[in-house]
Amino acid sequence: MASIAVLSQKGGTGKTTTVRTLADILRRAGLDVLAVDLDPQGNLSDYLDVDPDAEPTVGDVLAGRAKAAEAVHDGIVPANLGLAEAELMLSGKMGREMTLRKALRGVQDEYDIVLIDCPPALGLLSVNALVAADYALLSTEAQYFALQGVEQALEVIELARDNLNPDLEWLGVLLNIADMRTVHSREAYATLVESFPDKVFRTVIRQSIAYAESAERAVSILDYRPDLGADYLALADELLDRLDMGEARARLRPLREAAGAT
């Protein structure tokens, strides 16, 4: 089992789309995937079509009202605004950073991969994700200040590793929502590669309005625009490579070939 926290220093960097699409792809490759929505906005829960009234949620789990196993609905532990309240409650407690880690202990071993979608802030919820996870995956938009955002997120990863989760590994940084036809996207990529040569994913997720459209229609980008979905298939391949999951990688190959990868 490998658990991965997907996070970024700021909002709107494609985290939730990344978790949603990777979950979809890894399931198509035959893996058992648990998605955890750790954002009070509940975007991932919406994307994955969870009934908005589904209970219990991750907020109930963090508040100690439910076991994580009870909060899994069709492969996702959903979130709603109640998570904001749970976060507040949590902030005054001993061991507040360890709560998700302890809660997931009972369920995560039933899965091959656990993907945790973080909120758009590096606060207590994201720290809980980093303490619960084996790996951190950073997502960054292709903007001028991408590097600063990555550096700030890295500081939080290091804090979590030094104090609470010594086994935490930085899996890599993904350039997301990028228009590589523009100079500033290309510069953002070049700067990242220069700073973190081994950590930047070679795959860049291209920007397209089709992502918003596919989310609205609750259709996976793989089906809505297979040509764009190929980006995420390539990312999944790199990810499985970094995780040393060769068998799953082999099962991904037919999907990549069908999408036109060479």
Ligand X SMILES: Nc1ncnc2c1ncn2[C@@H]1O[C@H](COP(=O)(O)OP(=O)(O)OP(=O)(O)O)[C@@H](O)[C@H]1O
Examine residue 16 and tell whether it contacts Mg ion (CB under 5 A).
Answer: yes
Please count the residues of this chain forming the interface with ligand X, following the rule CB under 6 A.
Answer: 19
**In whole angstroms, how close is the CB of 19 to Mg ion at the nearest point?**
8
Q: Which of 2, 4, 9, 15 binds ligand X (CB under 6 A)?
A: 15
Record the tokens describing residue 18, joined without a space: 């990344």
Q: Select the binding partner of residue 33 from ligand X, Mg ion, none (C-beta < 5 to 8 A, by kind).
A: none
Q: Using CB under 6 A, which residues numbered 183 to 212 contact ligand X?
A: 205, 207-208, 211-212
Residue 77 CA, chain-centre distance (Å), reads: 13
Neighbours of 35 (CB within 10 A): 28
Strands (E), the chain: 2-7, 33-37, 76-77, 113-117, 135-141, 169-178, 200-206
Considering the complex, state which of residue 16 and residue 248 has its C-beta at the smaller distance from Mg ion. 16
Task: Identify whether the C-beta of residue 89 lies closer than 8 Å to the C-beta of residue 63.
Answer: yes
**In whole angstroms, how close is the CB of 105 to ligand X at the nearest point?**
26
Strands (E), 23-119: 33-37, 76-77, 113-117
Considering the complex, state which of residue 8 and residue 203 has its C-beta at the smaller distance from ligand X. 8
**In whole angstroms, how close is the CB of 243 to ligand X at the nearest point?**
22
Examine residue 18 and tell whether it contacts Mg ion (CB under 5 A).
Answer: no
Strands (E), 60-156: 76-77, 113-117, 135-141
Examine residue 21 and tell whether it contacts Mg ion (CB under 5 A).
Answer: no
Output 217-221 pairs: Cβ under 8 A, ≥24 positions apart: 218/47, 218/49, 220/20, 220/21, 220/24, 221/17, 221/21
Residue in 33, 59, 54 with CA at minimum distance from that of residue 116: 33
Examine residue 235 and tell whether it contacts ligand X (CB under 6 A).
Answer: no
Q: Using CB under 5 A, which residues numbered 33 to 52 contact Mg ion?
A: 43
Examine residue 9 and tell whether it contacts Mg ion (CB under 5 A).
Answer: no
Strands (E), 46-199: 76-77, 113-117, 135-141, 169-178
**In whole angstroms, how close is the CB of 24 to ligand X at the nearest point?**
13
Alpha-carbon distance of 89 to 79, in angstroms, equals 16
**Which range binds ligand X by CB under 6 A, 5-13, 53-61, 79-87, 180-188?**
5-13
Q: Using CB under 6 A, which residues numbered 109 to 148 contact ligand X?
A: 120
Kindly list the residues in this chain that would bind Mg ion in the complex (CB under 5 A): 15-16, 43
Kindly list the residues in this chain that would bind ligand X in the complex (CB under 6 A): 8, 11-17, 39, 41, 43, 120, 177, 205, 207-208, 211-212, 215
